Structure 1
């Protein structure tokens, strides 16, 4: 491992002491620019490096790592969806952090974003988790400095931010808490401190922000005129830290402002001005890696590069920022904490788990409805007039009976029955219907969210009563009783939702 260098080597110059390399080949390699977008999306999209293997190893030496054991994945795979937990900590220790956060803080999880990247890289969701969300922190195994393992007992009914720092909890404990709360297991984590915002925004020569009204906050020392401004360094940190300049001065409104800031930072990092400037790229690489702590599974420069290249594939218009749906904690008289909104939260978590895009839900829904309508002309029947038998063709055991119960008790399809197992397993759920059953097929397609491809014209069959009926065969794509099969899960109305390409003004 070469020693760390304070001066960036000239990209065009051959390394001293090396022999047998032709100048023209060295020149072409020196021109390669390695863009990482990993970092801490809070402080996100990341890192760029110029100059070959030695410099990349130098950058790798900047990155701190933590062993999170079974809390995360053992490796990163390019061909799979992945979840990265991004943590901003309030810890004062470390160069540049002395004047911020709570004095003596162990370093709590104050800013938290669960970044989900879809398997096909067409979209991503950045889910903010409020620090004041009441959760149950599970038992977690941590690795001590001497290499020994220690299990830290869990705690019930506490703020989410206590999942890091308290009692020696590490980022692996925060990852386990996310999995316990949302049902979504983070594969990896990236953590940054206060200094990251200052150094990253300075490296890209500032980030554009917008406020509806002039701001003069004596607590964060943020002063901005109404309209658009450029912030960097201390002013950028003040912008993302202030709670008293926006909304009702609470943490949820600060999260909205942070999401707008991150969208702007992502656009700036991906801009031509940044990507074509070797000077900016090197500054960005140094700033991001020095401010970054990751799990040991992705601590190698090659893995960070792979993550960056996968993130780079996602269009900014399809990167959605949203927040865990919450309500005020009903157990408190003075409202200081929040709990998950059980009417909306599970739907959001299921969309992420099932790799469903927040930006494309409505478009996909309209597309599939049009496909079904084109195939099935005319009117649709009332649910009580639909006759269908349900068969299991590859779904988990008991699925046919569960779907039947849903149809009869919740969807109003009373003329339905369980027809047992299909003759063979199929990959995709299908609905077979006769020509004179098109009106019934259209009604059932709407209830179950069947795609146009799922509709199979065929011959009439009879049910146990000798009456003509359709056949619904549940395939391996079946996700549970009542769950839409076309990927157009009903998206709940969310208080906060924006995309990375939107230019918004904080209010």
Structure 2
């Protein structure tokens, strides 16, 4: 990791923590009308926002700023702290064993892999967010990536096919930037920033917040993780919280997918605890939480100081807790294995969900937006659709991906069975949104192509006069086009059988 001012020393020591000054503190009574907000693992940074308004704010800023570790991920992330549109933040929990009390977990000396990974998508209007867990045992392609060395040089790490997702970090020198690029390669969603925590972070954060409430549908006694919990509600922190997040043998069919469900339930409870009035009105607890959170985090350099993290925290904190949905990336058993122990992306449901997230469609109860999107899309597809072989379309590239028109025509012809599609190369100018221009007597062809490509209602541009002879429709790909075979926009509702959990509701782990 590049040396940085006020960062951890090579031995991992930190400057001593002083108690926050008591003088000048004012307890503000929470407004009843204020909605609860949430920020996943970085909820402690919101504590800094409150603490920074107290006496001695400059000293606190310097102290907390010195806690944070940062890694340069180059072009893998965004250079801006906050983007105007939707934001994607990759939350990475590693299985790195370093630190006091972690030697007994096995795999001593491991660099740490992407053991628990969540893509946190925040909507453009900040009304909702989707937290999608990515299974560690997902088999996928790890693309080529670059890492920055301490001396300023760059190392290119070759890509590999058919690898477990968790090896996108730690394996062959890969850093979180490689994990960010792997996520983008899978979903078409580019992470703007990453936040990474390890075993110590789980223990420190849960202790700082005074424990996290959990609920078990049955008593738990797992000798492997040393987890013992009674049926019903209880509080966990420190080693016990880590054991809960690591156990596979206590829930469901003992798979990583069932463990993910428990992790999501735990995170939802942790969010509620971090944003509770008991935390927000307790200066000492706030300080401990802010100190623990900034010590726990490793982030990209674009958000690598307390001021930038505070700015990001305030932006994400606009999302109401009830409008944060937890879900797991849709997967199926790996067909390449006789007795599958790994999974691959569900080719249908996965792309539908990714398309929804790319088009910033809410998965929560933000009804007005969902109803409008559903109504427009239903009206668009209503009516007869032409057979794929009868669809005539000229494809132009007005987006950012070189060769997009050619790759789309290849996909249309060989995958969708549209032989009358033609590559017309680059459009006269770049456009932000994909458009399909068609004549009234080509409406059946337009509906067929819209369904294949997931074109939104806003993309459809019907002319006033009928087409003559063999005249083709004109499809111009825009900046919203992410690749051949990737839907431009998803359905108004998530695929069937996608299990969702809300950060605002407590659920007992099965």
TM range (shorter): 0.7 to 0.9
The offset of 1:131, in angstroms, is 1.1
- Residue 509 of structure 2 aligns to a residue whose secondary structure is coil
Describe the superposition over 1:392-415 as per-residue Cα deviations: whole angstroms up to 9, x where unpaired.
99976999xx89x98xx9899xxx
The offset of 1:190, in angstroms, is 0.9
User: TM-score scaled to structure 2, two decimals?
Assistant: 0.75
Question: In the alignment, what sits opposite 2:255?
Answer: 250
Question: In the alignment, what sits opposite 2:12?
Answer: none
**Whole-Å separation in 2 of the counterparts to 1:447 and 1:441:** 10
C-alpha spacing 1:139/1:439, structure 2 compared with 1 (3 Å): closer
Contact preservation (8 Å) 1:36, 1:46: no
**Whole-Å separation in 1 of the counterparts to 2:281 and 2:107:** 39
Ranges in structure 2 where 5+ consecutive residues have no aligned partner: 7-14, 29-35
Given candidates 487, 490, 507, the residue that maps to 1:504 is 507
Given candidates 128, 137, 146, the residue that maps to 1:132 is 137
Describe the superposition over 1:441-481 as per-residue Cα deviations: whole angstroms up to 9, x where unpaired.
9999999999899999998868669xxxxx99989798699
The offset of 1:260, in angstroms, is 0.8
Contact preservation (8 Å) 2:395, 2:476: yes
Question: In the alignment, what sits opposite 1:234?
Answer: 239
The offset of 1:321, in angstroms, is 1.2
Question: In the alignment, what sits opposite 1:20?
Answer: none
**Whole-Å separation in 1 of the counterparts to 2:181 and 2:379:** 46
Contact preservation (8 Å) 2:386, 2:444: no
The offset of 1:304, in angstroms, is 0.1
More displaced 10-residue stretch of structure 1: 83-92 or 447-456: 447-456
Contact preservation (8 Å) 1:215, 1:224: yes
**Where in structure 2 are the equivalents of 1:149-168 lying within 5 Å?**
149-168=154-173
The offset of 1:298, in angstroms, is 0.8
Q: Note if 1:305 corresponds to 2:310.
A: yes
Question: In the alignment, what sits opposite 1:281?
Answer: 286
- Residue 207 of structure 2 aligns to a residue whose secondary structure is helix
C-alpha spacing 1:28/1:481, structure 2 compared with 1 (3 Å): same
Contact preservation (8 Å) 1:327, 1:341: yes
Describe the superposition over 1:281-340 as per-residue Cα deviations: whole angstroms up to 9, x where unpaired.
111111111111111121111110111011111112221211221112222233221112
**Where in structure 2 are the equivalents of 1:483-498 lying within 5 Å?**
488-489=491-492, 491-498=494-501
Contact preservation (8 Å) 2:38, 2:319: no
The offset of 1:490, in angstroms, is 5.5
Given candidates 94, 102, 127, the residue that maps to 1:97 is 102
Ranges in structure 1 where 5+ consecutive residues have no aligned partner: 14-26, 30-34, 466-470
C-alpha spacing 1:125/1:8, structure 2 compared with 1 (3 Å): same
- Residue 46 of structure 1 aligns to a residue whose secondary structure is helix
C-alpha spacing 1:100/1:76, structure 2 compared with 1 (3 Å): same
